[in-house]
Structure 1
Amino acid sequence: MLAALAISVGGMLDSDLEHIALLGGAIGGALGLVPHPYSWGRIAAFLVGFVLAWIGFALRAAVIPDSANGRAVVAFLVVALCAAACAFSMNRLPLWAALLGVAAIIGAYEEIFTNAPAQFLNESPQAATTVLLAAGLGYLATSVIAEMVSDTPDERGSHRLGRDSGPASPAATPETPGEDLDRLNGLMAGEKK
């Protein structure tokens, strides 16, 4: 449903979103579906991989020749830097999410880049923003909307308050402000209490 919305919005904005709506929506959906202890870590890792792959395109456009060997060197550098960033984060940034970020920009921009490497500065921002919009819609659909739809209204209320059932009471409210953040982090990670 959100992929159809992205395609129609892309048509109104005269962008190429309709061409990569399913790619971005699927990648964002996978990002939202796979649980991880740190919900912000999935998004941050995705953005790290996305930015590193984008920098890889910049290197290919400016410094490294666009040959099979040049593409291989850039691919190695991007994946190695993603792995290093995720290892340095001590599993706060999952490697799978960083690789999804790499896949998003490559899927959206590789063909355009191959046709006109010299147009990197003009064409890459549009490809990046359109795939990020589609991925954001996919993430929203799977992590937030699916959580809201999957529970009954009574269960949603009890998840928010961190209790199994029964009426709200002052004792059911969190004792410390950090508990609210932990519950929100768990909800965004797809955990059910």
Structure 2
Amino acid sequence: MATGVLVWGGEWLGLELQHVALLGAALGGATGVVPDRAPWERAAGLLSGAVLAWIGYALRAAWLPDTSGGRGVAAMLVVLACLLIAFLTSGRLPLWSFLIGAAAVVGAYEVAYTAAPPEFVETSPTALTTVLLAAAFGFLATVFLGNTIEDERARERGRYASDDDSDAARSDADPGEQGDDAARGPFWEGALR
């Protein structure tokens, strides 16, 4: 729903969000729904990764040759910067959120950059802000689901733990009391003998 509102609202405001709405909303939504770290830490990682990827494009436009080697150096520098900041924050800003932010910018801007590298100054701010706007919509649409998912997983773990305890208690009993199926074991044990 957020993606549809974003596309409609962007068209109404004269913004070109159609090509990045789903990408940004999906990546922002993934960042919002993962129950790892506080929401502001995940959002800060996504934003930082996006800015680092944008800086990578600036390096490509200013100093690096437009070859596969230049693209490789820029990508390596962006990933190393993401790793360094995640390390310096002692993991408070998760590395995965940096990489999602970088991927959002690359997905939104690579085609436009490749078509006209000298126009980086004119085209990159629009690409950066539109994909971040789309990511913000996706993040806000899903951030409150993360706690719900984490609670569901905790209940599942508790249910599995109680099932394991029941299975352990049954295995301590006499195999004859467990019935023929339990005495034989799983179907694959016979095939492995």
The SS at the match of 1:100 is helix
1:100 counterpart residue number = 100
Larger Rg: 2
Aligned ranges 1:81-92 → 2 under 5 Å: 81-92=81-92
Aligned partners of 2:24 and 2:37: how far apart in 1?
23
Partners of 1:56 and 1:74 within 8 A in 2 = yes
Identify unmatched segments of 5+ residues in structure 2.
155-193
TM-score using structure 1 length? 0.74
Query: What's the CA shift for 1:190?
Result: 6.7
**Matched pairs, number:** 152
Aligned partners of 1:4 and 1:136: how far apart in 2?
14
2:175 counterpart residue number = none
Aligned partners of 2:92 and 2:139: how far apart in 1?
19
Higher helix fraction: Structure 1 or Structure 2? Answer: 2
Q: Call closer, same or farther: CA 1:63–1:8 in 2, change over 3 Å.
A: same
Partners of 1:27 and 1:135 within 8 A in 2 = yes
2:11 counterpart residue number = 11
1:166 counterpart residue number = none
The SS at the match of 2:143 is helix
Aligned partners of 1:77 and 1:18: how far apart in 2?
30
Letter in 1 for 2:60: R
Identify unmatched segments of 5+ residues in structure 1.
148-186
TM-score using structure 2 length? 0.74
Aligned partners of 1:141 and 1:38: how far apart in 2?
16
Letter in 1 for 2:15: S
Aligned partners of 1:104 and 1:60: how far apart in 2?
17
Tell me how large the CA RMSD over aligned residues is: 1.7
Identity of aligned residues (%): 49
Partners of 2:47 and 2:132 within 8 A in 1 = no
